[in-house]
Amino acid sequence: MTTPTHRRSWSGPAPRVVAGLISGTSADGIAACLVKITEKRSTLDVRQLAFVNRPYPGEMRKFILANSLPGTGSVDVVCTLNALIGVCFADAVVAVAKKARVPLSRIDLIGSHGQTVHHIPNPEPFFGMKVRSTLQIGDPSVIAQRTGITTVGDFRPADLAADGQGAPLVPYLDYLLFRSKSESRMLLNLGGIANFTVLPKRCTVDDVRGLDTGPANMVIDALSNLLYREPFDRNGLHAAAGKVVPELLAWMMSHPYFRQSLPKTTGREQFGSMFVEELLRRAGSAAPDDLLATATECTALSVYNQYVRYFRRSFPIDAVLVSGGGAHNLHLVRRLQAHFGPVPVRTMKHPGFSSDAKEAVLFAILARETVLGRTSNVPRVTGATRSVLLGKICVP
């Protein structure tokens, strides 16, 4: 198989003002970030103009999650949601532009991850063939038409088509913006699922490593909602008040994903509602705070164990830089520090944008790379056989 030749797909100056959009595996809302990107000698200067996080309206989040499980969704519902979520994402662009006081006409490009409803990264037999597949909804054509701005979406399928896992994609951003000449770093993102990128000091893109480690906030948030009717464990206060239940932690850590060979990714399919239901069934009379303490310890321990299992020997690190919603969970961060010590665990800081905006910024950068004809997956992380252009370009 020959590697395709890529051509520039953008006429005129490189996009400078770009909106990035994502709703993560927890479907807790749409993160939208408007950034100004300046390229200087193959390095990117990224400056945040505005960031908003918009929850889905009404009961839409529950409806999305209910229709993301095998056997519960239907083609007509998913078809309708695909358009409806596109409308919500377009509205998020309008909101972030308004906050930045930037007219839509001044935005050059939008990059939209969409909303994942299912992800099957390993080849599955089907009608005598084996295929990998993923589905992110929130049609980028809807976003482009409603905003009048060229939109790139559907980023993951190209990597899957090249025999990759389609995730994680954030190592490309980590390499561009966080590599260091003096420090070997782990960039840890704690969203619904945890993933990290290892950047050895003075690394090239071929030195970059990473993976999804397992659940970050997904199980914690589900338990918090079920046990306390709270969307998340604010500052980890419930977990800090509880005690880890050893037998439950042992069961959680026995999940086959933690022993699966690289490359690998995971999501709601393995650590979603069915996993939480089984956890509660096994919990018996365990106190709610103890359940949250156990789930939080599972997140911290699985991050550390996955690093030790796959990378510590060859890629020792000097610091762990944390981003995502889990970075606000003080108890979780303390547990990470307990495992990684004496390596410091600190909040990710970038002079141009907030840590909460990181994943939205990623899709702004990926969209820009795509329209400029640049590949942006990291095959050493995803397992793809080659570098590929990510996403589909929708022109209004």
Domain identity same for 240 and 340: yes
Residues 299, 372 within the same domain: no
State whether 222 and 341 are in the same domain.
yes
Mean pLDDT of 167-194: 96
Burial of 331-360, coded b for 16+ CB within 10 Å and e otherwise, reads bbbebbbebbeebebeebebebbebbbbbb
Place of tokens 């993160």: 31
- Is 70 domain-assigned? yes
> Is it the case that residue 375 has pLDDT exceeding 50?
yes
Determine the average pLDDT of the residues in 351-374: 96
Statement to judge: residues 326 and 364 lie in one domain: no
Amino acid at 120: I
Residue 73 pLDDT grade (very low, low, confident, very high; cuts 50, 70, 90): confident
The pLDDT value recorded for residue 282 is 98
Q: How confident is the model over 318-342, as a mean pLDDT?
A: 97
Phi-psi region of 159 (alpha: psi -120 to 50; beta: other; left: phi over 0): alpha
Average pLDDT for 1-20: 67
Q: How many domains does the chain have?
A: 2
- Tell me the residue range of the domain where 296 lies: 178-347
**Is the pLDDT at 5 greater than 70, yes or no?**
no
Structure confidence at residue 3 (pLDDT) = 41
**At residue 149, does pLDDT exceed 70?**
yes
Residue 7's pLDDT is: 42
Whether residue 123 is predicted with pLDDT greater than 80 in this model: the reply is yes
Which pLDDT score, from 0 to 100, does residue 165 have? 97
Shared-domain flag, residues 103 and 215: no
Of 270, 333, 268, whose CA–CA distance to 296 is shortest?
333
Q: Looking at the structure, tell me whether residues 207 and 308 fall in a common domain.
A: yes
pLDDT digits (tens, 9 = 90+) for 195-219: 999 999 999 999 999 999 999 999 9
Q: What is the pLDDT of residue 6?
A: 40
The answer to whether position 108 is within a domain reads yes
Q: How confident is the model at residue 28 (pLDDT cuts 50, 70, 90)?
A: confident
pLDDT number for residue 1? 36
* Dihedral (CA of 297, 263, 350, 206) sign: positive
Query: Has residue 10 been placed in a domain?
Result: no
> What are the tens digits of pLDDT across the range 284-310?
999 999 999 999 999 999 999 999 999
Q: How many CB atoms lie within 10 A of CB 122?
A: 12
Assigned domain for 296 exists: yes
Q: Of 63-67, 69-73, 95-99, where does mean pLDDT reach its minimum?
A: 69-73
- Which distant-in-sequence residues (6+ apart) come within 8 Å of 254 by Cβ? none
Do residues 95 and 188 share a domain?
no
Whether 8 shows a pLDDT value over 70: the answer reads no
Question: For residue 346, what are the β-bridge partners?
Answer: 321
How confident is the model at residue 71, as a pLDDT? 78
Residue at 7 is within a domain: no
User: Which phi-psi region, left, alpha or beta, contains residue 190 (left: φ > 0; alpha: ψ -120 to 50)?
Assistant: beta
Domain membership of residue 254 (yes or no) is yes
12 in any annotated domain: no
Residues 249 and 326 in one domain: yes
- Same domain for 226 and 135, yes or no, is no
Question: What is the arithmetic mean of pLDDT over 53-62?
Answer: 92
Please compute, for residue 93, the number of CA atoms within 13 A of its CA located in the half-sphere on the CB side: 33
pLDDT digits (tens, 9 = 90+) for 208-257: 999 999 999 999 999 999 999 999 999 999 999 999 999 999 999 999 99
Label each residue of 78-132 as H, E or C: HHHHHHHHHHHHHHHHHHHHHHHCCCHHHCCEEEEEEEEEEEEEEEEEECCEEEE
Mean pLDDT of the chain: 94
Residues 165, 235: one domain? no
> Whole-prediction pTM value?
0.93
Rounded Cα gap, residues 325 and 327, in angstroms? 5
* In-domain check, residue 3: no
Spatial CB neighbours of 183, under 8 Å, sequence gap ≥ 6: 201, 318, 319
Same domain membership, residue 182 and residue 163 = no
Give the CATH number of the domain where residue 390 resides: 3.30.420.40
